[in-house]
Structure 1
């Protein structure tokens, strides 16, 4: 790998890049790739996607006048080379760390990030909005959206393309084909045809042909158009995009500057081309052998050794929650041939890959299409199957309308396995699973569960499989479990019933999900201060265990609810019952949840602590509520205190 970066050292912003000669760009790209590898080796993050667009990133900033020309990266996980070229190289070693650079594009971070992204398939819609705004304002800058072939599987991308083709605003969409290989490049002939079809002479001749055809009957004009479409579709494979109103160019080699530069320049200089789609074929992980050899092309990596590619992953103390889900569901499916698993392009992240090994014919990866995944699951449920839709909390938001209309209203027993619920650390606010409790608990008839450990997750998977009259969801965090022993045979839990793990008299802590360990630790701390505490595991966010809430409110001075979710979730369900049952006159209530703001990236444990959801935060809440500033000198218990008025 390159150690010295003499050309890259001269580039602070893209304007510096544009002072170089075209023949120097190959070296810039090589140096940029080396700088990207070194940075991610120290921080971890998304590596393969960025390595695949190094040449494309260099060429785009060289040809277009960014930031006046708007460059939008779909998803944004491939933007590390872009960040290095746009004034952030001196901070690139802070990627995905507290106070550092985001792992995605972010408007507040740089003027070169015109649109923030971390979820897929938004770039064409945003780009069209910018292009139309430019037209209304009488501007003439370019708008370029770079979207991966995986992101093109989402319906939103096609909705945007359909609209863009009809509006005919000048918009450039670059399809970065790095996996699906929609149409393979055909070497020199492909590159020649792409240069020809994007050239001024061809586009000019095309316009002349249109004007001539307009003087003839409409049937002749349409025949000419059809002939051109057929001819160009025959040699390029772009008929689909042409039918949507885009002028298609490609496929071209995305790692060859001699191919990229002339095509980008031709498209830049075509004043009346309307929407154009350039099909660029790249290789994920390009230029770094360990990434090229990896099955996932080093999509997401921990810190690693640059020479060997070995990642510095700490040895897990316990299995990850998603793997527990996949293994338990696989075993249940051995006895129930109606169980099926559905994922939206995240099989390994959700544990569905483990289910697939055992039951490939009952596993469905629908691509980046959460809306479709939800309704697809609903359709299967109508036919008597037991679908488990495994989707990250933050991604399920994309299919919320379908959750409401296609599942909840029809009372269809779709089971949602919601991974990455709660804090996710380095991926920041865009991937934080903050809102699933709020947006599911408000839906009539939904059963919402949250396990406190791996054993509870196993029981809840079995419980969800047994629910056949309404939709249900299990939400659990990213990462490894607590080390709890897994049951040989998971049991079906009684719906809406929690459990008490420790009995006390002064403080009651009602925890939902994996904050239970902090609740138990807080109880130990309180006991050392002379305050006995009851600790209960709610298990269900909906329906809540009203009998348990009644008991905790009746027998304690203070009730604290704890959840790793936003305002409007579990605590709201508890408060609703307590209000209706007139329990707020009986006990003090404190509710702990995520702060009402979007949080930047940090270590999950720091995020939990900052929110006051760790043991120390729970203890502080208890002491503040009871008016105790420090540990009392003598034991304070329910029987020792004066009776409540």
Structure 2
């Protein structure tokens, strides 16, 4: 497509100089540009296509960046980035040293607030609005754009509840397309559907009852109507709420028809939208599928097994459980706190609950893990998907903190399988007779084994494993990064000098084996796909000091910094966790 008009836009000031026909042309070009780039580079597609008209209208009506625009999550912010000076570098989206896939304050003055996890926009924009009042700036506008899946989260309700008793100059725009990553769920979704269908009497409007000036629902793809309504709302003081109806994937037929698949479809043909097929017939499984299929296998023989996920049935592969046993699988929406305490409540009644949450999202339910689960010693089984470095989603999504933030909690077992078979066996062991809560962490992406669906074996909790003996150095690893450690040993100058021990359990540590290792090896290397501070290596250091040992310990892991976006292999190199760096350290110690 010819991007003559879009190529002339360097910032929103130029958008504001366009006439109505040019704005419609800009919408067509912007939508096609997003499709062209994402089809080649990958990324989040459907959400940004759905808000093209809304994005243009917002920058046309409001004086950004002086007026503050906050996007919730940020999946839908590609058009925003392109119109705010990042068109020429948009092809670097999510690449190492390229622009972020999410709004980021350090990247642009137009990104008023950094986002990545959902449901923060209302609180952030309200904070900005109240600060503006204190600064005697009563003309500045503050806009939060939030989706129907995100607004169902507790934090969003907290923001609405507070905003309704203020006179803050806040506009909340609900981008209602009935889907987040997976279809929206819950009573609020049903309420919004009734509103859209005209079945809910206006006098019972729940947003109005919270003291917001409510408008809508209106067509979010009608650009002139959006501009007219935003101009009207701009003149109204106090908290306002605009309900906008959009279609996720708008403008690409297959993306509209397959909204879950086209949330982030990978590479596809830009004209047709057809996803470029990949031969996966001879590939090892994704860890999420190992979890999902194993859960179904266990649930067939254990009728007390329950599955819970906060809005990630596809991403976590809980969908398999939901299809096989719909009455025993629950998608609770974007509500991690609720998911954890719901699981705890079920466990008190004898259920065996697998609570599946991305590692980075469990951070949002930290108090519930401590207070509602561990303090009461309830054996909830947390399955932490996307543990470790996750790649292109970057700093907001890396699951590198879980060992550090969980290891200090009493009663909680922390496990990290070496491979798919061990993940299955950990799940099998956990559902049999566990007396404590457990967190099983595993990475994003594929494993290494084709023959992974083997007969279940019970694992001894807290038992570490000797993978190979050596003469001089001992590597202690936890989780799937142990496979990389094994490859490094094979490629060092003298593999016979290096012993390798796998610790499936970070807590409790196998202190008996640790004592034997420290008695036999002067140089100890710990390796983990998580933070060095507070992680597996730190626990080994602490154990060594407690026992007054003088061994040389070298900790490899994620440094004390937020790691940005890029391929996992690139990020591991930055963190000195790549095979080459491990080999170099081994060679140095061997030859010293």
TM-score by length of 1: 0.87
Match of 2:291 in 1: 325
8 Å Cα contact 1:284/1:297 also seen in 2: no
Relative to structure 1, is the Cα distance of residues 254 and 238 closer, same or farther in structure 2, using a 3 angstrom cutoff?
farther
Q: Distance in 1 between matches of 2:108 and 2:132?
A: 20
Relative to structure 1, is the Cα distance of residues 318 and 532 closer, same or farther in structure 2, using a 3 angstrom cutoff?
same
Q: Which deviates further from its counterpart, 434-443 or 513-522?
A: 513-522
Match of 1:510 in 2: 476
Match of 1:80 in 2: 78
2:440 maps to 1:474: yes
Match of 2:162 in 1: 163
The 5 Å alignment of 1:81-100 reads: 81-100=79-98
Cα offsets for 1:585-632 (capped at 9, x unmatched): 2x321111111100111110111122222322222223445663xxxx
- Which of 530, 534, 551 does residue 565 from structure 1 map onto? 530
8 Å Cα contact 2:429/2:459 also seen in 1: yes
Q: Distance in 1 between matches of 2:271 and 2:258?
A: 15
SS in 2 for 1:564: strand
- Which of 35, 38, 41 does residue 40 from structure 1 map onto? 38
Match of 2:504 in 1: 539
Count of residues in correspondence between the two structures: 577
Relative to structure 1, is the Cα distance of residues 96 and 313 closer, same or farther in structure 2, using a 3 angstrom cutoff?
farther
Q: Which deviates further from its counterpart, 377-386 or 301-310?
A: 301-310
Q: Which deviates further from its counterpart, 49-58 or 19-28?
A: 19-28
- Which of 528, 538, 541 does residue 575 from structure 1 map onto? 541
The 5 Å alignment of 1:618-629 reads: 618-625=582-589, 628=592
Q: CA deviation at 1:525?
A: 2.4
Q: Distance in 2 between matches of 1:466 and 1:186?
A: 47
2:462 maps to 1:496: yes
Match of 2:516 in 1: 551
The 5 Å alignment of 1:182-331 reads: 182-183=192-193, 234-235=201-202, 239-270=205-236, 272=237, 274-296=238-260, 298-312=262-276, 314-316=278-280, 317-331=283-297
SS in 2 for 1:396: helix
8 Å Cα contact 1:185/1:252 also seen in 2: no
2:116 maps to 1:118: yes
Q: Distance in 1 between matches of 2:196 and 2:301?
A: 50
Q: Distance in 1 between matches of 2:22 and 2:271?
A: 26
Q: Distance in 1 between matches of 2:40 and 2:235?
A: 40
2:341 maps to 1:375: yes
Q: CA deviation at 1:467?
A: 4.2
Q: Distance in 1 between matches of 2:293 and 2:495?
A: 43
Q: Distance in 1 between matches of 2:474 and 2:411?
A: 28
8 Å Cα contact 2:96/2:570 also seen in 1: no
Q: Distance in 2 between matches of 1:185 and 1:7?
A: 37
Q: Distance in 2 between matches of 1:468 and 1:460?
A: 11
The 5 Å alignment of 1:398-413 reads: 398-413=364-379
8 Å Cα contact 1:435/1:565 also seen in 2: yes
8 Å Cα contact 1:464/1:473 also seen in 2: no
SS in 1 for 2:389: coil
SS in 2 for 1:618: helix
Cα offsets for 1:7-64 (capped at 9, x unmatched): 2222111100100112332211111101111111121000000000000001111111
Match of 2:324 in 1: 358
Q: CA deviation at 1:445?
A: 1.2
8 Å Cα contact 2:285/2:450 also seen in 1: no
Which structure is larger by alpha-carbon Rg, 1 or 2?
Answer: 1
- In the alignment, structure 2 segments of 5+ residues that lack a partner are 179-183
8 Å Cα contact 1:503/1:535 also seen in 2: yes
- Which of 580, 583, 592 does residue 616 from structure 1 map onto? 580
8 Å Cα contact 1:124/1:161 also seen in 2: yes
Cα offsets for 1:502-558 (capped at 9, x unmatched): 1111111111001111111122123x3375111111110100111111111111221
- In the alignment, structure 1 segments of 5+ residues that lack a partner are 191-231, 629-645
- Which of 25, 43, 57 does residue 23 from structure 2 map onto? 25
Match of 2:181 in 1: none
Q: CA deviation at 1:238?
A: 6.6
Q: CA deviation at 1:5?
A: 2.3
SS in 2 for 1:348: coil
8 Å Cα contact 2:249/2:259 also seen in 1: no
8 Å Cα contact 2:46/2:259 also seen in 1: no
Q: Distance in 2 between matches of 1:159 and 1:430?
A: 22
From the two aligned structures, give the one with the greater helix fraction.
1
Q: CA deviation at 1:310?
A: 3.0
Q: CA deviation at 1:345?
A: 0.3
8 Å Cα contact 1:413/1:467 also seen in 2: no
8 Å Cα contact 2:359/2:387 also seen in 1: yes
Q: Distance in 2 between matches of 1:571 and 1:440?
A: 14
Q: Distance in 1 between matches of 2:491 and 2:261?
A: 47
SS in 2 for 1:513: coil
Q: Distance in 2 between matches of 1:132 and 1:552?
A: 58
